[in-house]
Amino acid sequence: MCALVEGGMKRWGKVHGARRLFGVVLGALLACGLAWGLTGALATSSSPAPPGQVILRVGTTQDCDSLNPFVGYSGTAYEIYHLNYNLLVGYNPDFSPRPELAAELPTKENGGVSADGKTWTFKLRHGVMWQDGVPFTAKDVAFTYNYIIKNNLWAFTTYTTNIKKAVALDDYTVQFQLKEPKANMLRLWIPIVPEHIWSKISGKAAGNTYPNNPPLIGTGPFQLVEAKKNAYYVLKANKQYFGGAPKIDEVIFQIYQNAENMVADLRTGALDVANGIPQAQFASLRGDKNITTIASSIDSYKYFDEICFNTYSGSGSLGNPVLRDVKFRQALSWAVDKNTLVKVAYGGYAVPGSSIVIPGLEYAWQPSPSEAFGFDLNKASALLDAAGYKLNSSGQRLDKQGKPIVLRLYARTESIESQQDAKLIAGWFGKIGVKVKISVMDEGALSDRLYNTKGSTYAPDYDMYIWGWGEYVDPDYILGVFTTGQIDGWNDCCFSNAEYDRLYVEQSHELDPTKRAALVQRMQQIFYDAAPYVVLCYREQLQAYNSSKWEGWVATPPEDGLVLYTNDNVDSYVLVHPKAAASQSGSSSSTGLIVGIIVAVAVVVAVVVFLVRRRGGRALEE
């Protein structure tokens, strides 16, 4: 999948595993204004920084779901992957392709691309070293791609479509042999891993259970050396990095259970940059002279929120069968007021959504006014009537067996927006006679329902849920998510359409941009009309950093983009550095940290005695 995001799809907030009671206690501490001392202790107690080290502290509410790049799919996971590993071809801040481990971009003119487009030859950088001192060679690139293909490592299999195999011609030349021309050969977000490590790991383990514990061995500008789930991730600078040594010594990702407390730490200077800021706090930060705020453009963040319907028709499905009926889903699509959602749930920091490819990206399609699902409750009711879903005397819709329809709608603990969306949507659906029962649960619990099995049978256990996807510059990946072969993989709505699958293959090897655009846009229209998703909005990401202490940030894209968490470009981490005055003033007071820890520990003891919280989802009565 969640993720899935911004490599494998970037799913915002995708997390495996339940929250610990300690997270609740931490929330109480933060409310008391003591969080900075405790979070500082969490991030540094196991690995205190040597004097004079320059540390960038990044705050987020999104944990890293896995350190294994063949398994993880949260945005934080992908940020760590791209800091620790390199791609063959990466991205400039304007999202144009640029060589990373490749020495140059292959073209027909330089002999890198064959006349028929089925052979691509990449020249590689010389002198690159893995972080354990082993030389990097073309064999590592060939191994990575062949490992994915041979073991069907689904996090990246949509990227390896049409690749037969990769061959190391010599230590600095790798050749890709294709079944057909491949339109996105310069857009393959695949981290290159070391053969001398991963060749000892079975493909089955790589795609499932292998934890990839630190220290991670890559070629990137940083190396993950320490990790504590739901707390922090420590990455040390690779001072021998071929792209130039980072100007800082360490990056620490600090994971917050509460976004308000993250913002409070940013204000006090205990945190240097915060990602995923709530709307209310974001507005107040705009008046702080020490902080620069960013509300990214939608084509910079490349993220949409959706209602996902369980359309799975397999024998194991635990979803309500009415959602397999395209007419039922289309009727529900008319009962969602996206303009109100944007205003109420997102505070205006979003744009009403429609297609699965973000407007402004290559090959994006949007429905015409006559094609679009608008907001019309009367029309939604009429469509349900016409499809055979009648109202009973109590005003509740009945399925075709005469039973009242009740749909489960899952929202996420980590997302206030999803909870607000759910309440509004349940109200609109109720007005057309469709009863909705909302549950709020953490993302790990929701993931368990999406990938539920009964024995060896896939058995997705949900009706509807609200989440979102981050995507990439080229549309191939987001389109590939919804192919039939990705059911029980990325394809969370279990959409299956033969024409869509055929067009996906055709567009993947169509090199003529005009012809490819027609194929890609037709795919978007098929998906939109079938309504396995209701794309609610294209979100702006809200981010802020301490501009009184730091400079050298690189926005992606330059005009109105994010400085971190695009996953595509990690230049900020390499180039950011303290301002001269800030560096002379030194780091935060260790005395204050100690006092904060002492007081925090006392509060922990008191809170643990009295605080008991139930695990799992909680029902909201409507």
pLDDT digits (tens, 9 = 90+) for 475-526: 998 999 999 999 998 899 999 999 999 999 999 999 899 999 999 999 999 9
What's the mean per-residue pLDDT of the chain? 86
User: What pLDDT, on the 0 to 100 scale, is given for residue 21?
Assistant: 28
- The string of DSSP letters for 549-562 reads TEE----BSTTT-B
User: What pLDDT, on the 0 to 100 scale, is given for residue 15?
Assistant: 29
Q: Over 80: is that where the pLDDT of 597 sits? A: no
User: What pLDDT, on the 0 to 100 scale, is given for residue 299?
Assistant: 67
Distance CA 283, CA 261 (A): 15
User: What pLDDT, on the 0 to 100 scale, is given for residue 3?
Assistant: 34
Distance CA 9, CA 194 (A): 22
User: What pLDDT, on the 0 to 100 scale, is given for residue 74?
Assistant: 87
Give residue 394's pLDDT band: very low, low, confident or very high (50, 70, 90).
very high
Q: How far is CA 135 from CA 158, 223, 363, in A?
A: 29, 16, 40
Query: What is the mean predicted confidence (pLDDT) over 377-389?
Result: 98
- The string of DSSP letters for 434-448 reads -EEEEEEE-HHHHHH
User: What pLDDT, on the 0 to 100 scale, is given for residue 31?
Assistant: 37
Q: Over 60: is that where the pLDDT of 64 sits? A: yes
Using H for helix, E for strand and C for coil, what is the string for 59-78?
EECCCCCCCCCCCCCEHHHH
Q: Over 60: is that where the pLDDT of 613 sits? A: no
Q: Over 50: is that where the pLDDT of 565 sits? A: yes
pLDDT digits (tens, 9 = 90+) for 228-267: 999 999 999 999 999 999 999 999 999 999 889 999 999 9
Give residue 154's pLDDT band: very low, low, confident or very high (50, 70, 90).
confident
Q: Over 80: is that where the pLDDT of 567 sits? A: yes
pLDDT digits (tens, 9 = 90+) for 448-463: 999 999 999 999 999 9
Q: How far is CA 351 from CA 265, 340, 414, in A?
A: 29, 11, 21
Q: Over 80: is that where the pLDDT of 338 sits? A: yes
Kindly give the interhelix angle for 21-31 and 35-44, rounded to the nearest 10 degrees: 130
Distance CA 607, CA 50 (A): 33
Distance CA 110, CA 103 (A): 12
User: What pLDDT, on the 0 to 100 scale, is given for residue 490?
Assistant: 86
Task: Sketch out the chain's domains with CATH numbers.
Answer: 21-82+220-296+542-601 (3.40.190.10), 86-194 (3.90.76.10), 301-539 (3.10.105.10)
Q: What percent of the chain has pLDDT over 90?
A: 74
pLDDT digits (tens, 9 = 90+) for 75-132: 899 999 999 999 999 999 998 999 999 999 999 999 999 999 999 999 999 999 999 9
Q: If you compute the radius of gyration of the chain from its CA atoms, what whole number of angstroms results?
A: 25
CB atoms within 10 A of CB 27: 19
User: What pLDDT, on the 0 to 100 scale, is given for residue 373?
Assistant: 98
User: What pLDDT, on the 0 to 100 scale, is given for residue 209?
Assistant: 93
Distance CA 559, CA 109 (A): 32
pLDDT digits (tens, 9 = 90+) for 351-377: 999 999 999 888 999 999 999 999 999
pLDDT digits (tens, 9 = 90+) for 17-52: 222 223 333 333 333 333 333 344 443 333 445 568
User: What pLDDT, on the 0 to 100 scale, is given for residue 610?
Assistant: 32
